[in-house]
A and B are shown apart, each in its own frame.
Chain A
Amino acid sequence: MTWECCWTKNEVSDEDCPLLGEGDQELRVSLRRRFVEKCLECPRFRNDLHKMDESGFPFAALLPTLVDEYLNQKAQLQSMLTFLDSRDREIKFLHELSVVLQTSMDLEEVLSVAMTAITAGKGFGMNRAFLLLTDKDRKSLKGFLGVGPRNYEEAWRIWEEVNENDLSLKEMARYFHNTKLLSEKMKFFDILEKLEVPLNETSHILIRALVDRKPILVENAFDNPQVDRGLTEILGVGSFLIMPLISRNRRIGVLIADNCITHKPITRQDLQSLETFAFPVAFAIERASLYERLQEELEKVTAANAKLQAQQELIVKMEKMALVGKITSNIAHSIRNPLMVIGGFARSLLKNAAADDPKREYLESIAVKAGELETVLDEVLAYSDAMHPAMDMWDLNQLVARVSEGLRESDKGAELSLDLAESLPTVFIDFKQITHCVRSAIAKIMELADTGEVRIKTWQDADNVVLEIVSQRPVSNRELISRAQELFFTADQAGAGLGVSLCKIILEQHGARFHFGESEQGGARCLIRLPIRKER
């Protein structure tokens, strides 16, 4: 009998078998493989079986049934292999995804991974995705991030870019995080802004997905009465899926994904795959958010701790300063009494000494030096007092008037002219300390200009009360003006040289600005700017 099919030949040529093609070289010489892979599906073999049956060949009538059953089983096996292969890829993908999600504490990184996974071809391959998160007050769902192309051209460009780079999911997510996160947010700003639903609006499909804890596959949205018309118009597609993100009974948010470019139907399998992915994403988002909040709290605690440490240091410093002040005060007391006796008796003896008494010069010297030491003591004690200001609201004009009166009555020859502004606001100061400053500044200016003619002026300038003290005569040695602010500098060796520098310290503690320099006419000038009603 002549057979149409090549199933009896060990070796065949292309003419012998119509099903052989490129890459089937091995099948030409392998009868067993050719028979299983080609002959059983070949119409020529069917014809041969028919011939066999007609010729009364035993079992020939059963052979087509066996062949059909084999082919059917083979097709089923192939289908299962395809299914297993897709599941295998899905498991690998979910594993890769979960590793990233489990290890990341950065909310932006988690979101980048999640959104890339939904939209990447290597992931779930959806065209576009939106993430809505529950706000901090847990009152509404708000659009947070959108990913995907806005039109076909952009989609084409993105897909070409993805094909060229051939990145893994992790690499794609990192690339997205580093370069596209912000731009995607901006790109979908108009949509994200509109995507806001109060959590108590339980009839809304997004909230329903959250409440029921189940994903929803929306189809024919434009004609679906269960879908909010506003949402459909914002998305602009008729088919999309809604995936609730819930972690430990906590409503984290909702994912919306669609195929707005390809319009490929979303299957139940897509829904199931995304459902598997939703839980780790929700958990990762929650954990990253909590970590972010923890970081914020930690920063607050760290800042508070630093502040507390600074306060502690300040307290220790103040305690030390208070101790220094106490010691200074006690030393000053111990010195002042003998100094008073020395100076006092020297003056007393001087009064009774004859004009030509050779001891007169020595007594004068003792009296003067004792007086100078008393001045040093006054300054040291004033410095000690400066550590503990007693702040209150005071009228600067009143203070200036009182200081001026005291100086006029003293034997220092002060000829002060006052130009005090009316209705000057009160200032928050330690009256005693500022009195010391004003008195010291006037005394120093008189000393530098070698004149008692000093002009004192007050006025208000924005948020400050300003006090100006200027000598009416120029200072001959200008260098002394600039050196007057140096700590421990004395022009005449009288005093400790704390005068102007102490004023500066006191005024700085008051939050005031202090300037000691030269006037336009070459005189000595002091300018004090005290903040108005600025309590420390």
Chain B
Amino acid sequence: MARILIIDDEASIRLLYSQELSEEGHEVAEAANAAEAAEKLAGGTFDLVVLDVKLKNESGLDLLQKIVKERHNIPVIICSAFSCYKDDFSAWLADGYVVKSGDMTELKEEIKRILEKRKGQ
């Protein structure tokens, strides 16, 4: 299974992701902001990042650019409450885009799709 970094400023959402993705057999790490995310990314190897667009006082899309720039090999899925960022050029850097929902099926399938794609490369 994969090592996934969840970046979201809301603790309850991070908890939900951790619980759901751990049940799927993934190893999950959490970051509440860009600094924590940078620290986690520097300290370990991750197979995938799930990133919120809106972080407290920070832009998830700026962080996405930084991740892509510095760590070319990590795929990123944007998970946002907004569907409109799909049309934002910056969001196109991500490998996937999922609108937040209590039904996590779409997110899980997207993770699966991207990881399988990576495995095949």
Q: How long is the Cα–Cα vector from A275 to B103 in the complex, in angstroms?
A: 97
Determine if A371 and B103 form an interchain contact, defined as CB atoms under 8 angstroms apart: yes
Chain A window 348-389, contacts with chain B (Cβ cutoff 8 Å), 1 for yes, 0 for no: 100100000000000000010011001000100100010000
Question: CB of A517 within 8 A of chain B?
Answer: no
Q: Which residues of A contact B82 (CB under 8 A)?
A: 329, 332-333, 381
A interface, over-half SS: helix
- Known A347-B103, A371-B102, A374-B102; contact A340-B13, beta-carbon cutoff 8 A: yes
- With A329-B82, A332-B81 as contacts: A345 and B100 at CB distance below 8 Å: no
Does residue A111 face the partner (Cβ distance < 8 Å to B)? Answer: no
Closest to A336 in B: B81
Contacts of A341 in B (CB 8 A): 10, 12-13, 16, 102
A337 x B13 contact (CB < 8 A): yes
Cβ–Cβ < 8 Å partners of B87 in chain A: 390, 432
Quote the shortest CB–CB distance from B22 to chain A (angstroms). Answer: 11
- The smallest beta-carbon distance between B54 and chain A, in angstroms, is 7
Q: Which of A66-99 contact B (CB under 8 A)?
A: none
> B81 and A333: CB pair below 8 A?
yes
Within 8 A of A (CB), among B13-53: 13, 16, 19-20, 23
Question: Which of B54, B84, B101 counts the most chain A CB atoms within 10 A?
Answer: B101
B104 touches A (CB below 8 Å): yes
What band does the interface of chain B fall in when counting residues whose beta carbon is under 8 Å from A? Answer: 10 to 19
- Chain A residues closer than 8 Å to B104, beta-carbon distance: 344, 347
Contact across chains for B84 and A340 when beta carbons are under 8 A apart = no
Q: Which residues of A contact B23 (CB under 8 A)?
A: 351
* Total residue contacts A-B, CB cutoff 8 A: 60
Contact between chains at B81 and A344 (CB < 8 Å) = no
Taken together as a complex, chains A and B put the C-alpha atoms of A219 and B100 apart, in Å, by: 100
A346 within 8 A of B: yes
Contact with B along A432-443 (1 / 0, CB 8 A): 100000000000
Q: In the complex, are the beta carbons of A346 and B81 less than 8 A apart?
A: no
Given A329-B82, A329-B84, A348-B16, A337 and B102 contact (CB-CB distance below 8 Å): no
B83 proximal to A (CB < 8 A): yes
Contacts of B81 in A (CB 8 A): 332-333, 336-337, 340
Report the bound CA distance from A132 to B10 in whole Å.
Answer: 87
| Known interface pairs A337-B10, A348-B16; A370-B102 also in contact (CB < 8 Å) | yes
Query: Complex formed: what's the CA distance from A52 to B10 in Å?
Result: 148
| Choice from A333, A344, A390 contacting B102 with Cβ under 8 Å | A344
Known contacts A344-B16, A344-B20, A348-B19; decide if A339 and B102 are in contact (CB<8 Å): yes
Q: Within A456-514, which residues are at the interface with B (CB < 8 Å)?
A: none
Cβ contact within 8 Å between A340 and B101: yes
Q: B103 contacts A343, CB within 8 Å?
A: yes
Contact yes or no, B102 A340, CB < 8 A: yes
Complex Cα spacing A379 to B16, Å: 25
CA distance A170 to B20 in the complex (A): 98
**Bound complex: CA A351 to CA B20 (Å):** 10
Nearest CB on B from A398, distance (A)? 18
Q: Which residue of B lies closest to A384 (CB)?
A: B84
As a 0/1 sequence over residues 80 to 121 of chain B, the CB contacts with chain A under 8 angstroms (1 = contact) are: 011110010000000000011111100000000000000000
Q: In the complex, which of the residues A332, A340, A367, A374 contacts B16, with contact meaning CB atoms closer than 8 Å?
A: A340
* B104 and chain A: residue at smallest CB distance: A344
Report the Cα distance A519→B62, complex, angstroms.
51
Residue of A with least CB distance to B12: A341
Annotate A267-293 by CB proximity to B: 1 below 8 A, 0 otherwise: 000000000000000000000000000
- Which residues from chain A contact B101 at a C-beta distance below 8 Å? 340, 343-344, 371, 374
Q: A389 to chain B: closest CB distance in Å?
A: 12
Partner of A367 from B19, B84, B102 at Cβ < 8 Å: B102
Complex Cα gap A225–B99 (Å): 95
Chain B CB within 8 A of A342 CB: yes
Cβ of B85 to closest chain A Cβ, rounded Å: 11
Of all chain B residues, the one with the shortest Cβ separation from A352 is B23
Asked if B100 and A346 make an inter-chain contact with CB atoms under 8 angstroms apart, the answer reads no
Closest beta carbon of chain B to A284's beta carbon, Å = 65
With contacts A336-B100, A340-B100 taken as known, whether A345 is within 8 angstroms of B16 at the C-beta atoms is yes
Chain A residue at minimal CB-CB distance from B10: A337
Q: In the bound complex, how far is the Cα of B81 from the Cα of A346, in angstroms?
A: 19
CA of A385 to CA of B87 in the docked complex: distance in angstroms?
12
Residue of A nearest to B79 (CB): A340
Taking a contact as CB atoms closer than 8 A, the residue among B13, B20, B84 that contacts A348 in the complex is B20
Q: Of all chain A residues, which has the CB nearest B17?
A: A344
Q: Given the complex of chains A and B, what is the CA–CA distance between A336 and B102 in angstroms?
A: 9
Collect the chain B residues with CB atoms within 8 Å of residue A385's CB. Answer: 84
Contacts of A340 in B (CB 8 A): 13, 16, 81, 100-102
Residues from chain B with Cβ under 8 Å of A374 in the complex = 101-103
Q: Are A347 and B102 in contact (CB under 8 A)?
A: yes
How far apart are A324's CB and chain B's nearest CB, in angstroms? 15
In the complex, the answer to whether B16 meets A337 with C-beta atoms within 8 Å is: no
**Which residues of the partner chain B approach A351 to less than 8 Å between Cβ atoms?**
23
Cβ–Cβ contact A342 & B84, under 8 A: no
- Residues of chain A within 8 A of B102, CB atoms compared: 339-344, 346-347, 367, 370-371, 374
**In the complex the two chains form, what is the Cα distance from A339 to B23 in whole Å?**
21
* Nearest CB in chain B: distance from A147 CB, A: 72
Would you give the shortest CB distance from A306 to chain B, in whole angstroms?
Answer: 35
What string of 1s and 0s marks CB contacts (under 8 Å) between A311-351 and chain B?
00000000000000000010011001101111111111001
CB pairs A–B below 8 angstroms (8 shown): A332-B82, A333-B54, A336-B81, A341-B10, A341-B12, A341-B13, A342-B102, A351-B23
Taking Cβ atoms with an 8 Å cutoff, the residues of A that contact B are 329, 332-333, 336-337, 339-348, 351, 367, 370-371, 374, 378, 381, 385, 390, 432
4 nearest A-B pairs in the assembled complex, by CB-CB distance: A343-B102, A336-B81, A333-B81, A344-B16
